[in-house]
Amino acid sequence: MMMNKSPQPAAPALLRVSPLQIGGLLIGVMLVSGGAGWWLSRVGNRSAAAPVTATAVTSLSVETAIARHQTVATNRTLTGTVEPMETVTLTSRVMGQIRQLPVQEGDRVSAGATLAIIDVADLQAQGSQALAGVNMAQSNYQTAQARLQESRAQLLEAEATLADAQLQQRRMSMLQSEGAVSQQLLDQANTRVQMSQARVQQIHAGIAQAQATMQQAQAQVKQAQAQVTQVSANLNYGTITAPFAGVITRKHTEVGAMAGAGQPLLTLESSDRLRFSTQVPESLITQIRQGQTVSIHLDALNQDLPGTVSQIIPSADPATRNFTVKVILNRTTTVIPGMFGRLKLGEQTATQNPGDRTMLMIPKSAIMQQFGITGVYKIINGRASFQPITTGKPNGADTEVFSGLTEGDRVILAPSSNLKDGTPVQIN
């Protein structure tokens, strides 16, 4: 029996690669290995270059200062104004039309000079009427005085008559008691006494009335004379004169206008006697005493004038707590009222002024502007850091700092344009 043999598998065929494919494969391998080598070299170069860059940044050498608290004297320069010691607004005491006004603003006048003349025709008429009243009152007084004298004469006569009647009464009474005369004669004597007594009483009443009339007339005389005196005084007020030498600073009216009682006419200020007036805070008022010699600097004249403290008003303004102090200036022809002046108080050396205060101060040279912001470069961990600050008033070469810094902070002086935020610095 013939056995069928199973077919044997065929031997695998050999991979046939052409020379072109082999060359391409080699080129690919070379490209991949070359790219990897280039990348590794770049990473190595970067890692090697990093320390080189760090060592290339150098620190800037800077000058610094430390923010410290300092006791700063308060402002002891007081501002004020030169003013005349005497200022008066001349007014009219009578009513009338202004006839003359022979001065102009700015004119210098002497004491007693005529400044204005007012028409006083109405007052003159009143004066004539007052004189007539005096004459009438004096006439009434004289009439009353004559009546009084007449009544006194009548009284003497009546008293004599009464005395005679009383004597006759006594005689008749004695004779009638002896039976020498009748009762009728005694009655007649009694009646005569009574009539004489009544006459005396009547005359006394007339005398009292005459005295009252005379006193009334005397009062009328005094009243009329007072009216005459007043009118005469008002006539004198029709001429306005300068009470002191000075300068006319303002005219309130003109010729032809009507002047009324109390109406302002002119303003007069003394030009030779001047004083400086200033407001002194209560913290400095103890440094000023009456009679103290001080110096006043006038900006307009650029000169200092000596003066003496003449007044310290002992009442402060409740709103500002300032006291008014006035200083008499020495006589000078160049100073004009209204000029601005400064009074500088002397520095205290023995004790600290109560008005002094402690402030955080830094040099002005440390302050700069960056993007419109005021600040300084503060050193933090060896690097510069820009710090905005709020400044106050300067004091010499330093400036007060309200906020942004604390005591002990170190700031850079005169920062250069190369200085940036975070720049390492080295302190000289």
Would you list the DSSP string of 346-388?
PPP-SS--TT-EEEEEEEGGG-EEETTEEEEEEEETTEEEEEE
Taking 60 as the threshold, does the pLDDT of residue 257 lie above it?
yes
Complete DSSP assignment for 186-251: HHHHHHHHHHHHHHHHHHHHHHHHHHHHHHHHHHHHHHHHHHHHHHHHHHHHTEEE-SSSEEEEEE
Bridge partners for 363 per DSSP: 398
Distance CA 41, CA 48 (A): 10
Give the confidence band of 251 by pLDDT, cuts at 50, 70, 90: very high
Report yes or no: 82 and 329 within 8 Å, Cβ to Cβ.
yes
Burial group, residue 411, by CB count within 10 angstroms (0-12, 13-18, 19+): buried
Taking 70 as the threshold, does the pLDDT of residue 329 lie above it?
yes
Tell me the percentage of the chain whose pLDDT exceeds 90.
Answer: 27
Tracing tokens 């270059």 back to the chain, one arrives at 49
Q: What is the mean pLDDT of residues 329-341?
A: 84
Taking 90 as the threshold, does the pLDDT of residue 333 lie above it?
no
- For the stretch 22-63, pLDDT in tens is 555 555 545 545 544 554 454 444 444 444 444 345 788 899
Residue 121 DSSP class = H
Distance CA 297, CA 304 (A): 4
Mean pLDDT for all residues in the chain? 80
> In the structure encoding, which two tokens stand for residue 266, read together?
């002119």
Give the confidence band of 153 by pLDDT, cuts at 50, 70, 90: confident
Q: What is the mean pLDDT of residues 173-199?
A: 85
pTM: 0.46
Structural domains of the chain, ranges and CATH numbers in brackets: 62-71+356-427 (2.40.420.20), 87-120+239-268 (2.40.50.100), 121-236 (1.10.287.620), 272-344 (2.40.30.170)
Complete DSSP assignment for 146-173: HHHHHHHHHHHHHHHHHHHHHHHHHHHH
Give the confidence band of 312 by pLDDT, cuts at 50, 70, 90: very high
Taking 80 as the threshold, does the pLDDT of residue 399 lie above it?
yes
- For the stretch 154-179, pLDDT in tens is 888 888 888 888 888 888 888 888 87
> 403 phi and psi, to 5 degrees?
-150, 160
Distance CA 347, CA 289 (A): 15
Bridge partners for 426 per DSSP: 61
Instruction: With H, G, I as helix, E, B as strand and everything else as coil, classify residue 134.
Output: helix
Taking 80 as the threshold, does the pLDDT of residue 91 lie above it?
yes
Predicted local distance difference test score (pLDDT) of residue 171: 84
Residues in the chain: 428
Q: Which of 117, 200, 108 is nearest to 158 (CA)?
A: 200
